[in-house]
Amino acid sequence: MPFLRFPEHFLFGSSSSAHQVEGNNVHNQWWAFEQEPGRIKNGDKSGLAADHYHRYKEDFADLKAMKHEAHRLSFEWSRFFPESPTQLNPEAVRHYHNVLDTLHNLGIEPFVTTLHFTIPQWFAEMGGFEQEENIRHYLDFVRFLADEYGRKVHFWCTINEPNIYASFAYIIGEYPPAKKNIRTAFRVLSNLLKAHGRAYHIIKSLHPASQVGLVVHLPVFAPLRKGSFIDKLTARLADWVFNGIILEALKTGKIHFPAGFFEKHDFIKDSNDFIGLNYYVRMFASPKHAVATALNALDTDLGAFRRTGSERLTQSGWTVYAKGLYKCLKRLHRKLGLPMYVTENGIATEDDEWRKIFIRKHLRQVHKALEKGMDVRGYFYWSNLDNFEWSFGFEPRFGLVDVDYANDCKRTIRDSAWFYAEIIQQRGFWQDEKAKNESLEQIFPQEIQ
């Protein structure tokens, strides 16, 4: 029964993003989108969200109580520049200084994301990342941030999940501007990669010692029918389009899309001191689903990608596949050879016992990567707080802390938070295989792997 020990320098923490928790981010494109009927499940609107903008001190004190050593958060561009690229809002500047100071005073290391899905409405109106010439506005913002906060922020995540941004906003149509055009999606993805590459060099030129990286979301693609050659091929193709193109660009600077789009940019190559991995899900591919997504011929039923049969589903409609986390770490290690942080990993469920098992199973995979000599430096659970889960609204409960939206956003720390805190405090956990499997069997019998 070995003790799975994590190194002293390994950072345990949690992740969040501005729009999902702060509340009243009225100047971004998501806010506008949420006002359109039918966009968000149950007609939810982010509104006050978890009111973290006003309650960040209390929330960070909770992080401290829960033993977190690092916290990933995003700075909301539309708070700094609500009306135009040049009119700075000094209140936002002060606010995020206070946020950083509070974290530092508690001894919690901030990881700051400069773009987590939300853009100011004025930027959206000029075409957002559809237009290459607009990238300069994002870069001005990054320069401003690095200049203003560079002495307080050592770890910068440039852009969160460019593949999700491009595909959900421009193919699947669940994120604003809900266009359905695959060529535009590729253009946006390419512009996001360029924006990331340029942002990296801007931050490094101002603060050479800082650590800067992109955050990628890598689903594991598997064939829907195990023995099917055509499903395997589709899974490979989906993986290349969704994951492979980005990793290749980071490695070589080459952006290579299907249908002949090709560009090479040296500033994208080697534009990471570390790579952030967001890992959640395994997707099952078959030609029918892939074609439906690509051509937009049908309203894509993402559920079809997310399950094979009777597995237990989370509130996001996902199945749990912990081994995929190790696979993704191994892939990133081999492809990029960079230090890695698991910048997000979490489960949406009301069943807090399931959350404990989820955390344990995934940390086991992180530990396996460490055992194999991979350079994994941290794990951030998504999320510390229940939050606004984009087009799913408030229904999915990812938080280590429950937020009672109907009762003045009252916080209640869940048991899983204390379970995670104990792992952090002990710097690991005992791997009691028998006990683990017994409890797993009771909870999701099909998932023992």
Binding-site ranges for ligand IFM (CB under 6 A): 17, 20, 161, 278, 316, 344, 382, 389
Structure tokens at 220: 């594991």
- DSSP, collapsed to helix, strand or coil, labels residue 211 as strand
Are the CB atoms for 111 and 12 separated by under 8 Å?
no
Question: From the CB of 284, what's the least distance to ligand IFM, in Å?
Answer: 18
Q: Euclidean distance between the first and final Cα of the chain, in Å? A: 19
Are the CB atoms for 371 and 407 separated by under 8 Å?
no
> Looking at beta carbons only, is 244 or 317 nearer to ligand IFM?
317
H or E element in which residue 378 lies: strand 376-382
Structure tokens at 307: 């399950």
> Looking at beta carbons only, is 76 or 389 nearer to ligand IFM?
389
Q: What angle (nearest 5°) sits at the alpha carbon of residue 256, between those of residues 253 and 262? A: 90
Question: From the CB of 213, what's the least distance to ligand IFM, in Å?
Answer: 16
Question: From the CB of 160, what's the least distance to ligand IFM, in Å?
Answer: 6
> Looking at beta carbons only, is 191 or 278 nearer to ligand IFM?
278
> Looking at beta carbons only, is 161 or 239 nearer to ligand IFM?
161
Structure tokens at 108: 């919690």
Question: From the CB of 398, what's the least distance to ligand IFM, in Å?
Answer: 6
Cis geometry, peptide bond prior to residue 391 (ω within 30 degrees of 0): no
> Looking at beta carbons only, is 121 or 383 nearer to ligand IFM?
383
| φ, ψ dihedrals at 41, nearest 5° | -55, 140
> Looking at beta carbons only, is 191 or 314 nearer to ligand IFM?
314
Task: Give dist(CA 407, CA 354) in Å, integer.
Answer: 25
Cis geometry, peptide bond prior to residue 339 (ω within 30 degrees of 0): no
| φ, ψ dihedrals at 385, nearest 5° | -115, 150
- β-bridge partners, 385: 401
> Looking at beta carbons only, is 49 or 247 nearer to ligand IFM?
49
Question: From the CB of 116, what's the least distance to ligand IFM, in Å?
Answer: 6
> Looking at beta carbons only, is 6 or 75 nearer to ligand IFM?
75
Question: From the CB of 16, what's the least distance to ligand IFM, in Å?
Answer: 9
Question: From the CB of 201, what's the least distance to ligand IFM, in Å?
Answer: 25
Question: From the CB of 363, what's the least distance to ligand IFM, in Å?
Answer: 18
Structure tokens at 241: 């389009």
Cis geometry, peptide bond prior to residue 177 (ω within 30 degrees of 0): yes
